A and B are shown apart, each in its own frame.
Chain A
Amino acid sequence: MSFRKINYRLRPAKTVERKMIVEAFRKLGAFSPVKDYQYVGFGSLYFVDFSLLHKNLGMTSMISIEKEQNAKSRFEFNRPFSCIKILFDSASNVLPRLNYDQPTIIWLDYDGKLDSECLSDLNSVCTKIQPGSVLLLTVNVQPEGLNLDNSQDGASPNGSTASGRIHEHRLKVLQDQVSRSKVPARITGRELSLSGLPLVIREIMENEINTALENRNGLLPGDNRLRFQQTFNILYNDGASMLTYGGIFLDKNTEPIFSSANFFELPFCTTSDQPYKINVPNLTVKETGLIDSKLHDLYDFTSSAFIKNVQDLKIIPDGDLQSYAQIYRFYPTFTESIW
């Protein structure tokens, strides 16, 4: 299980993403008090997102879905607050059972690739979730490499090129994961690259949500019909490329509330199919201190550009400066501490 492999606290880009999303969640107050939202996530052993949301936003109605049933007492032990309820079952079993009457934030933070089970989970949520509620999905969007065993000494059976083979392989893997019928018809495999795969995966998730809502809307009177408004499309990389796609469910009554909440003043909230990319440069504490002290004189936050001579900061590469300026409020500092 991934909780044994990865220490979730030491992933800088993920840390930045979490803080950004918490900031965006503050805007949900326009719908109803944020502390009254129910949070559903995968807490694992560390419950990082749970602690963050509880401490920052005061949420107390929290459910962690944990499919690992062999270490129950260990999960219970690590639960940071008793207001967190752990349900030991798979997401596909828990999601259809949940009570969606109160406004809810569901973050399905899968570590793996998008697959049919994830899509089925999306469907379960869309069947019941209420307007003003939020759904986020995180999946691995690292493109497939070629399995070495299949490419013996570069010899190709029908004269196909190496790149042709990898396109074919990527398409086949994607079709296996989400099924053929869910892969958009125009996709040939060429698009499933480092830059292309996140777009395709986002499209598949969006299609699935829209289809589920279309079915549900068939039964609802016009004013109650739901639409999914994308707010998050974030790409980050702590060793593998990960995509967080998410948004808010709106009906006629909640549309104006959403507009007034002004989510899109936040630079990391986007309606675009092009993801917002989090880059976390490696900087020392001394360096970040230096940039922080000058940033508001040298950087224009509306155009996201340095406007003045950055002579003072020339020891830091330009690219790192740019990346840092975009995320400086969320930049994590990791230190070892002895407890």
Chain B
Amino acid sequence: MSTDAEKKDPNIIDTEPTKGFFITMLIRDVSLKDAIGDLVDNCVDGARSLVRDDDYSNYHIDITITPKTFLIKDNCGGINIDTARDYAFRFGRPSDFPGIKGSVGQFGIGMKRALFKIGRHFNIKSSESTSSFELDVDVDEWAKQKEWQFKLKGYEVSNTGHVALGTEIIIDKLNPEVIRDFGNATFINELKTELELENLYPISKGLVIRINSIELKRRNLELLTSDEIKPAYFEQKYNDDVNIRILAGVGEAILEEGGWYVFCNGRLVLGPEQTAITGWTGGRDKDGGPKYHGQYQRFRGYAFFEADDASKLPWNTTKNGVDLDSAIFKGVRQQMVSIMKPINSFLNLMKEERENDPSPQDLFYSNIVQKAVSVDIADITKTNESIQKTTAKVFTHPVVDLKSEPKEKKVSITYKRDKDEVDRVKRVLKTNSTADVGIRTFEYFLEMEVGG
């Protein structure tokens, strides 16, 4: 026993984390793509604090990925030196953090986790209108130190203002599994698709994101509308600080794209979601609708959560899912389930129609869908008038009016029995007709055992 230990208060149990453990745990629950998504979120938040009238067209984010290094560079305003010192690199948000209105970042974990996930060495340069700094961290060296601190390589404070306002992060000494992914073309493609979806909103407003010089495409969220088909629209304010909007209806028949899309402050956190989380529960004992499959591929639902204070939103820290236990998501999910029921019964009608009557002019529901026009949901929700004109509280569609009623349904029964047996029954029934035997024995059973 050392003398130090003897001096310690015997009532104290040491719970201080080791940095090694901290880093390992931190990066375990985040996928590489989500980690990169987190770094992009920080850039988008920077732009969000600067844009006027929702116009992102002056801002760009460039990502360069090679098997040796990862680089992300933006012109989205940079990080203020005081923010860097007091908040940006803290693990977790101090309670006095002022925050960015309507931001995507909120937990104070995303950037650090992403840096550790990707590599063992990172360099950050950032310039903002009144300050600039450079931070260079070797993660292994840092892990050996007892102090929970990063040391700036240099900084500058001036009132003249810098020209290039933005942040550049270079990460190298990549982790082994990261090297493999970064050398894989499929990974880059998947990353591109994921970032396109996640940042669909700012991209649609002009933000440019490039991966290895290839610009991410603008993805449109569309719904079919017409005088006959009206998507469902639901809007509610929650606790005065979260605005909830749901828009759902039918879209193109694409199996991979059907389902729900859930956004928090414009960032896609779920979708296309086709599981119990958004009500595709299947099974009689569940609270939702059917399981997602081919006949529902035209289903499109969009749920938007907006809040100035991002911590009020029901998302998880990796922003690839929702907090299923939150009261707000439970309530919204119930509304989503209710909204999707009429849409799914419409899609069931379409399916029945396809199976029953193949002549094209009689495909009543399919023809209605064919005639409808695909409209960007941003255009639908642009003004109250367009919401009024194109949507309804409940998904609306015309119903085919079957004037002629189906004929009484009759089926035939055929079976073979030994002639001896049938003859014995014939004698009891006093009949010569075999058909009569079939009919009268059936009638007897119906009367005696079934009733009616």
Contacts and interface: CB of A to CB of B under 8 A. Distances in A.
Nearest to B406: A70
A224 to B, nearest CB: 11
Contacts of A237: none
A214 B402 CA distance: 41
A123 B335 CA distance: 10
B328 A93 contact: no
B31 interface: no
B287 A127 contact: no
B210 interface: no
Interface string B312-338: 000000000000001110111111011
B238 interface: yes
B332 A219 contact: yes
A318 B351 CA distance: 62
Given A72-B405, A97-B394, A179-B284, A215 B331 contact: yes
A4 B285 CA distance: 31
A115 to B, nearest CB: 8
A4 B284 CA distance: 28
Nearest to A116: B284
B405 A124 contact: no
B206 interface: no
Contacts of B333: 215
A216 interface: yes
A216 B334 contact: yes
A127 B338 contact: yes
A281 interface: no
B327 A97 contact: no
Given A93-B345, A96-B338, A127-B338, A219 B285 contact: no
Contact of B331 (A69, A96, A182, A218): A218
B405 A70 contact: yes
Given A180-B285, A221-B239, A215 B334 contact: yes
Contacts of B10: none
Contact of A216 (B326, B331, B393): B331
Task: Determine the main DSSP class of A at the interface with B.
Answer: helix
A96 B334 contact: no
A314 to B, nearest CB: 40
A242 to B, nearest CB: 19
Interface in A279-302: none
Contact of B341 (A92, A178, A182): A92
Interface size class on chain A is: 20 to 34
A182 B238 contact: no
Contact of B330 (A69, A99, A215): A215
Nearest to B452: A5
Interface in A74-115: 92-93, 96-97, 99, 115
Interface string A115-134: 11100100110011000000
Contacts of A124: 338, 341
B341 A96 contact: yes
Contacts of A127: 334-335, 337-338
B405 A179 contact: no
B244 interface: yes
A217 to B, nearest CB: 7
A89 B452 CA distance: 26
Contacts of A150: none
Nearest to A4: B452
Given A216-B331, A219-B238, A116 B405 contact: no
A182 B285 contact: yes
B449 to A, nearest CB: 11
B403 to A, nearest CB: 9
21 contacts: A5-B452, A69-B402, A70-B405, A70-B406, A71-B405, A72-B405, A93-B341, A96-B341, A99-B393, A115-B284, A127-B337, A128-B338, A179-B284, A181-B285, A182-B285, A218-B328, A218-B331, A219-B236, A219-B238, A219-B244, A219-B331
Interface of B: 236, 238-239, 244, 283-285, 287, 326-328, 330-335, 337-339, 341-342, 345, 393-394, 402, 405-406, 452
Question: Lowest 7 CB-CB distances: which A-B pairs, in order?
Answer: A179-B285, A218-B327, A219-B331, A218-B331, A116-B284, A96-B341, A215-B334
Given A70-B405, A181-B285, A219-B331, 4 more contacts: A115-B284, A124-B341, A214-B330, A217-B327
